[in-house]
Amino acid sequence: MSEIVKTGIEGFDEAFGGFCRGQVIMVLGNAGSGKTTFCAKFLYEGARKFKEPGVFINTIENKKEFYEYMKELGMDFESLEREGLFRYVEILTPTSKDALMNLSKELTKHAIECNAKRIVVDSITPIFMLGPSIEARAILHNALKTLVRELGAVLLITGEMPLGNERIGHGVEEFVVDGIIKLKLEVPEAGAPRRIMEVLKLRGRPLSRAFYDFEIGAPTGFKVYLSGVLEELESSINLEDRINTGVEGIDEMLGGGLVRNTSTLIVGPPGSGKTLFMLTLAAENTLKGERVAFITFEEPRQQIYATLKFLRYDPDELERKGLRVLSLNPRAITMRAFYDVVQGFSRLSEGKGSLLIVDGINSLRKEFGVNFHRVVRDLVLQAKKAEVTVIFSILKEREATSKEALTYLSTLADNIIEFRVAEKERVRREVFVLKARMSSISTEIRELELKEGRLKVR
Amino acid sequence: MAESERFIKELMEEFENKGFMVNRRGFIEGISGIRHYFDIILEDPKSGRKIAFSLTDRIRYEHVLSILAMRIDSDTPHVIVANEVEPSIEELLRKYNVFTISFNRPKFSMLMSLPTKDIKQFTKMVTSEILRFLSTISGGSVT
């Protein structure tokens, strides 16, 4: 079996293990889909983590633009170049007449001179598509493979797909290369753009599923999200280690509070007290020294601070003690940003345990559409892995679509606390615990009271 | 007659005398269907094994891909005599049964001017190198 070459790209190696030495991999996509960044990351991490020299042959972008852009994404190629681990080669005006000879010259020369183990040609399209026939391209691909195998390298070649075109290669490439990775940027009419990696072929490596989300941005540059499927699900649970909600009576109903590192769903109609409960939980735990982040998709931060004041907390003091309140526009949030919040937050807490409270997660349902369940699932699994206790609320509505979402989230959550509003002689807020895994819970429906700015149950 | 033509003529005679079938300016149809041109195609009548021969000015980095492409597609060992061969690619090509003989090797340096007498001598040396090359690949598959 050929030697496995780890890409160093977070998520990709976990999913596929990497490439095999001697392989030629085609990275396809429309303009702006992330091909160059994927390839750059492959070279960058190869040099940085595995000390494998790399050559980037670019037919599109000049060196200065490339270095500047990659630096913004956290990849400093200049320093790698100084260390002799990287070479950037420009063939900026490939013509049909001399393009192949130029490619042969630059690839062979630089790869031999610096003993390159990773080579990128970005893009092969202008070189291969201008002149040679399909037969000639096939044998040239074979020659490339032979050369790469002899060099003991891995070659990534990028290919352009015209916008709106789903066609792969130009009739031969897909058969001769060892792997095909297709990158896509989907821009929905509403909501955040989504980047998708589709691995169509990868000789010698298992393909358990075809689609992966990925994101481009600093500091990682390029990151593939595993959606929890191939990751081993992990969490650290100690039944004795519980978090108090800070609301008198509810901890007792939960059998002594929320077990740390579990997920809790707060359900209720508008005005039932969900936000007040979650803010109380956030404030009380911040005061106890927990790391707490409160994310809302519905209210500006100032409004959250005003509500905290209403609950007789001092927002400035809470902020000083580490409470992070993030008011995010669900229309603008990307999946990456969401995950980064969880992971960044986990790093901040330095393993001391922390709480992530997300108010109004249903706002994301409108933006992420059919991907909503997956996003929440990933959020919960990532949080558990990062030892973050996650509490999220969803509005309980009467529409069927809402019920469907609720059913799914109910399965996902370890604990469910439901709030409701009863209208008899007076409006009365009620609370009950529907589910609390690993706990003996009270089955009572109790009244939630707001007295002198503080919540408690009777 | 140009020196290169004289050399090729001498070489063809050498191999004809050794019982090879010699085809001047021959084509080999590759697996892809493309016809690849070579200066000489030698064929051992006993084994039916073919070997392609080319005479060129230089073999540099820019020629590697096309040489390998021809070699793989034609599925035929290839000998190339050149004035100059980039040393770092000589070994690489050799692994794929592309054998290069260059004038820039010291033993051939005396033949740079190529007077008639020396062409004969040079041709004999090339012939002997090609035969040695053939013997290294004849034990197994030529390709």
Between A205 and A423, the higher pLDDT residue: A423
How does strand A388-395 pair with strand A324-327? unpaired
- Indicate the number of domains in chain A: 2
Same domain, A71 and A109: yes
Residues A304 and A368 in one domain: yes
Least confident of A207-211, A271-275, A429-433, B25-29: A207-211
* In a domain? residue A142: yes
User: Are the Cβ atoms of A143 and B34 closer than 8 angstroms?
Assistant: no
pLDDT digit string (tens) for B100-118? 988 765 445 444 555 566 7
Tell whether B43 is covered by a domain: yes
Give domain status of residue B142, yes or no.
Answer: no
Taking the C-alpha atoms of residue A164 and residue A185, their distance in angstroms, rounded to an integer, is 11
- Find the CB nearest A147 among B31, B62, B68: B68
Same-domain status, A422 and A286? yes
- Identify the CATH number of the domain in which residue B97 sits: 3.40.1350.10
Name the pTM for this structure. Answer: 0.65
Question: Are residue A405 and residue A293 in the same domain, yes or no?
Answer: yes
pLDDT at residue number A229: 47
Q: Is A236 part of any domain? A: no
Tell me which residue range forms the domain holding A179.
4-225
In a domain, B143, yes or no: no
Q: Are A201 and A318 in the same domain?
A: no
Cis peptide before A219 (omega within 30 of 0): yes
User: HSE on the CB side for A47, CA within 13 Å?
Assistant: 27
User: Best of B68, B75, B90, B143 to disrupt the A interface by mutation (most A CBs within 10 Å)?
Assistant: B68
The pLDDT value recorded for residue A283 is 94
Q: Kindly provide the b/e burial profile for residues A304-314, where b requires at least 16 CB atoms within 10 angstroms of the residue's own CB.
A: bbebbeebebe
Q: Is the same domain home to A155 and A57?
A: yes
Query: Are A25 and A147 part of one and the same domain?
Result: yes
For residue A102, is it within any domain?
yes
Find all residues with CB under 8 Å of A303, minimum gap 6, and list them: none
Final residue of a structural domain among A165, A190, A225: A225
Instruction: For residue A147, give the CATH number of its domain.
Output: 3.40.50.300
- Residues spanned by the domain of B109: 2-137
Averaged pLDDT for residues A92-105: 74
Instruction: Give me the number of domains chain B comprises.
Output: 1
Looking at the structure, do residues A275 and A182 belong to the same domain, yes or no? no
* A57 in any annotated domain: yes
Residue-wise pLDDT for A52-78, tens only, equals 999 999 988 889 999 999 999 999 999
Q: Do residues A212 and A246 share a domain?
A: no
Residue closest to B98 by CA, chosen among B128, B66, B127, B122 = B66
Which of B32, B33, B64 comes nearest A104 by C-beta?
B64
Q: How far is A189 from chain B (nearest CA, A)?
A: 46
In a domain, A219, yes or no: yes
Q: Do A142 and B34 touch (CB under 8 A)?
A: no
Nearest CA in chain A to B68: A143
What per-residue confidence (pLDDT) applies to A398?
60
Q: Are residues A443 and A380 in the same domain?
A: yes
Rounded mean pLDDT of A259-266? Answer: 89
Task: Please give the biggest Cα pair distance in chain A.
Answer: 88
Tens digit of each residue's pLDDT (9 = 90 or more) over A109-159: 999 999 999 999 998 887 776 666 777 777 788 888 888 998 899 999 998
Assess whether A217 and A282 both reside in one domain.
Answer: no
Please give the DSSP secondary-structure letter assigned to residue B63: G
pLDDT at A224 over 80: yes
Interface test mutation site (partner A, options B61, B66, B76, max chain A beta carbons within 10 A): B61
Asked if A146 lies within 8 A of B60 by C-beta distance, the reply is: no
Phi-psi category of A6—alpha, beta or left, where left has phi over 0 and alpha has psi -120 to 50?
Answer: beta
CA distance B69 to chain A (A): 5
- For B94, the closest chain A residue by CA position comes to A150
Residue ending a domain, choose from A185, A200, A225: A225
Residue B68 to residue A112, Cβ atoms within 8 A: no
Same domain, A214 and A277: no
Residue A90 lies in a domain: yes
- The rounded mean pLDDT for chain A is 83
The answer to the question of residue A291 being in a domain is: yes
What φ, ψ does residue A20 adopt, rounded to 5°? -105, 145
Q: Looking at chain B, which residue has its C-alpha nearest residue A104?
A: B62
